[in-house]
Each structure stands twice: as structure tokens, then as C-alpha cells.
Amino acid sequence: MSVYTTILRQIINGLQSGSIYALVALGYSMVYGIITLLNFAHGDIIMIGAYIAWLSMAKLSMHPAFAILSAILGCTLLGMLIEKAAYKPLRGSPRISLLITAIGVSFLLENLSQMVFGAKAQVIPSFSNIPSIFLGTIELSGTAVITLIAAAVSMLLLTFLVQKTKMGKAMRAVSEDTDAAQLMGININRTISFTFAIGSALAGIGAVLYCSAYPQATPTMGSMLGLKAFVAAVLGGIGSIPGAMIGGFAIGLAESLVSAIGLSVWRDGVVFAILIIVLLVKPTGILGRPMREKV
Amino acid sequence: MLEVQNINVFYGNIQAIRDISFSVEDGEIVTLIGANGAGKSTILKSISGLLRSKTGDITFDGKSIKGTAPHKIVAQGLAHVPEGRRVFLQMTVEENLDMGAFTAPRATFEDSIANVYERFPRLKERRRQIAGTLSGGEQQMLAMGRGLMSQPKLMMLDEPSMGLAPILVEQIFDIIQELNRAGTTILLVEQNAQMALSIANRGYVLETGQIVFHAPSSELLTNDAVQKAYLGG
């Protein structure tokens, strides 16, 4: 195999994991945009999504399509529940209290899963067998194709939702200026809840796509994925939706290109090196705007 | 139309306004004047629900609105155009107006926006432009236009003249008078006391969170103490 095909293959791998990072990063960024909270429990929502998929198929022998739907729906509801139970009571508290609560929720979810499902990995049955397709000499796995398509469709729908619908415009208004948005008659609580629902649904889709590439569920699987998606959100400019998409793909590509040049032990290292560089050089990220102090 | 009775508002432990009572009648222009920090904006924020008063009551159109969420107060016909304009800088002019109509029925949208564009032709020219690229005067027009989109009975304007060139201030005040003639009651907060009193029916003078004078504008304009303190006389 030529160097050329190796690199091309790694690019495809990078886009595949990158689209998952992008979906997860969107949730981080949207939530940050609306309540300036780094929701560190976001990665663990993916883990719960993976367990729901496992339960539905391995234990309840549901059809994969229903398993996928339950995973996405479960993540959506969990995200809304976390917001209502953990973050909403802290509205108006210092941001550090929210951040600590988010980390607490993350530990809670991880340890709860370990209690309920055990520490060992549960194998998720495959969702479907999509044959590989060939582009010349390059083999594209079915999962890679599906992942790219599903991520692209999700992002298009999200863009439409945010740009064109009433709720999407309300989200943008609240994230730009919460008080002014209230004076327009926008219901803040509903908008925040809706944002968590959308972000968590995207995490649910990410969970399904992640599990079709790495079909197992462990209690801590969400933490590394969540951290990398967080780096993606920061790289793209936290709070920015197109930024999260760009950041996700960039992180995925960086990882696989590092592998392509034979440094696969540095896969994780390079992601955090990127975080450090972004924070030193351009803390607002690629599309981020400087923070405006709200008076 | 609006009746504020004995409200007290605190920021943490600091009391921003003390025992404020005043009223605005249907069809009036009423102004609250006073120095920076006198509590003018705090009063408007308490009326629109962004801040809560610990005591007293606020009634609008005969119904108590104290403790009601801000988004519900807008829907009852009370618009608040906040200090510093606070337009959504990353949205287009038209999207900003769309946000202003958030609580209004969809059927009236076309009429409202046509009405706003007629009053502010500048906004129509720039309707696809991002609000952050507008000049200060245009942003003030957008903030007012956005407030009008909810078809308010009472419009509260917080420092509409702030940071604007004198010619623009004149223009903005002309528009406020036109709006009032067209049937909108106005509660105006201003540091530019001269201008505010020249269009208002009545004025309340605030000092460190308390109302110290209340009189028809013509009287306040000639009152010695007011002249010295606020009108540069």
C-alpha cells in the first residue's frame, strides 16, 4: 500500500471520529453559549446512551432501529433532567458553583453506571451490516460512510433549527443577551431546557455512531471522548456552533494524521497539546469572539 | 395605567431604591430624571420583572405584575427598551425586529414591521445588515422599533439619548412624541433632563433612590432647585 493511500485512509478515519467529536462538541458549545457553563457531564451522557443501546439490544432484544431511537431519546431526557435537577437551582449563583456541580454530576453518572452495569465492558451488538464501498483502491467502511452522512444531516438540521425556527432564534437571542431576550418575551427556562435537549440529542446520535465504530460500553468511556470534544469546542471557539463543527473535524484529523505518520502513541497527547496551544495563542478559538462583560 | 406603590429594591445588601411610588396615566409621557446612580434604571427593571421588589406592589392595567416573569409582562403590553440599546448585535436588523414580535400573534407581524419601517426608514434600508454594524443612532432606532413590535400599550425607554449626537437626540425625541400621539403611553428615563421635560407631561426627580420632587414638567423646568441640580442653570 502506498503512502498516499495510507494517508487518505487516515483522513477518512479522521473525518469519521471527527464527526463524532463535532456532534459532542456542539452540545458543549451550545450549553456554554447559553448559560456559560462547561457542562463536564456532557461526555457521560454519551456513556449512558451507549448503555441504553446495549440494554435495548443485548438484554431486551429490540430491533436496532428502536435501540438507536431509545438511545437518542434517553440522552435527550437525561440532559433535560440534569439541567432541571442540578443546574437550574443554581441560576444566578457564581459560575464556579455550576462548574463544580457539573463535575459532580459527571462523577455521579460514572459511578452509578459502574454500580448498575459493573466495571467490565459490555459488548454492544452491531446495529447493522453495511457493506464497504470502494473509491478506486480505497475501501470505505460502511460505518464510516453512515457516520459521515448522519453527522452531516444532523449538523444541517441543527443549522436550520438555529437560523430559521422561532426556538432557534430564541436560543441565539438568549445566548447573546439573556436580559434583553427576556424583555422580548422569550421564556428563558424553556429556551435553556430546549438547548440542553438539542445538545443531548446530538450527544445521543454521537453515542450511537461511536458505538458502531467501537461497540462496547464502559462506565468511563464518556470522559476521554467528552474531554476531546471539549478541546474541539475550545479550538473552534466555545459558544460558536460552526466553530464546534470545525473544531471537531480538526481534532479528529489531527489524531489520525499523527497515527498516519507512525506516532499513534501520541494520539491523545496531540489533542491536549492543541488545547494548550489554543489557550496560549488564541484563547477565543478559531471562530470565538472575545468575551463581552455583561453589566 | 401603571401604578407603582412603595417598592424597595436591593442589590445584595445595598438598597438601590427606597419606597418609590408613582403612576403613569393612559396617554401620558412621564419622565424620571436624576443623576447617574439615582436608581432610574433599577425602577424600570423592577417594573419589567428583571429585578424583584421586596415590598409594595406594581399594577399594570389593573393587574398586579409584581413577581411575574419578564416574558409574561411583555405579553401584557408593557415594552422595556433597555439602557445601552441592547440590540442583538449578531443578528440582522430584521431578526431583531422578529425577536421583538416574539409574543405578538403571527398574523400582525407584517403590519407591525411595515409600521416600524415606515417610522424608521433607515431600518428598512438596512434590514439585512447585522445589527453590530449599525451606528449608535441606528441601533437606538432598532431598539425602539424592536420594542414597538410587541405592540405595547406602555413603552418604557431607558436613556434613549445616551451617546448620541444632538441632532439624533432631537430626532429620537420627535419619534417618541409621534409614538405618544399615535396612542402609546411613555415612561421615559433620562439624564438629559432638559430634553425629557420638554416633551413630558409630568416628571419625577430622583435622588439616591428616592423621589424628591414630583410636578408637571413646566413647573420642574422653572423650579430653582431642579434647575441648579439637573438643568445646568
Residues A8-29 pLDDT 10s: 888 999 999 999 999 999 999 9
Q: Measured between CA atoms, how close is A41 to chain B, in angstroms?
A: 29
| Chain B residues lying within 8 Å of A293, measured CB to CB | none
CA distance B92 to A172: 12
Q: What is the DSSP letter of B90?
A: T
| Chain A residues lying within 8 Å of B49, measured CB to CB | 182
Q: Is position B81 within any domain?
A: no
The grid cell for A145 is 460512510
Q: Is position B78 within any domain?
A: no
Residue in A closest to B90 by C-alpha:
A176
Is the pLDDT at A126 greater than 80, yes or no? yes
Q: Is position B99 within any domain?
A: yes
CA dihedral for A68, A72, A73, A74, sign (positive or negative): positive
| Chain A residues lying within 8 Å of B48, measured CB to CB | 183
Note whether B150 contacts A170, CB cutoff 8 Å: no
Q: Measured between CA atoms, how close is B78 to chain A, in angstroms?
A: 9
CA distance A285 to A243: 8
| Chain A residues lying within 8 Å of B145, measured CB to CB | none
Contact B168, B156 (CB under 8 A): no
What's the pLDDT at A254?
94
Of A166, A173, A185, the CB nearest to B88: A173
The beta-strand segments (E) located in chain B are: 2-11, 14-24, 29-34, 57-60, 63-64, 78-81, 154-158, 185-190, 202-207, 210-216
Q: Give the mutation candidate from B44, B46, B71, B159 for the A interface (greatest A CB count, under 10 A).
A: B71
| Mean pLDDT (chain A, rounded) | 92
Q: Give the mutation candidate from A93, A183, A191, A291 for the B interface (greatest B CB count, under 10 A).
A: A183
Contacts of A122 (CB under 8 A, 6+ apart): A51, A54, A58, A216, A217, A218
Using 50, 70 and 90 to split pLDDT, how confident is the model at A295? very low
Q: Is position B59 within any domain?
A: no
Q: Measured between CA atoms, how close is A193 to chain B, in angstroms?
A: 16
| Chain A residues lying within 8 Å of B97, measured CB to CB | none
Asked if this assembly's ipTM is beyond 0.95, the reply is: no
What's the pLDDT at A1?
59
The pairing of strands B185-190 and B29-34 is parallel
Of A176, A186, A295, the CB nearest to B102: A186
Interface residues of A toward B, Cβ cutoff 8 Å, are: 166, 169-170, 172-173, 176-177, 179-188, 295
Q: How many domains does chain B have?
A: 1
Is the pLDDT at B173 greater than 90, yes or no? yes
Q: Is position B6 within any domain?
A: no
Q: Is position B124 within any domain?
A: yes
| Mean pLDDT (chain B, rounded) | 93
What's the pLDDT at A291?
58
Domain locations in chain A? 23-223
Q: Which domain does B140 fall in, by range?
A: 86-151
What's the pLDDT at B46?
96
Q: Give the mutation candidate from B68, B85, B99 for the A interface (greatest A CB count, under 10 A).
A: B99
Summarize pLDDT for B35-73 with one digit per residue, the tens: 888 899 999 999 999 999 989 999 999 999 999 999 999
Q: Is position B95 within any domain?
A: yes
Is the pLDDT at A294 greater than 60, yes or no? no
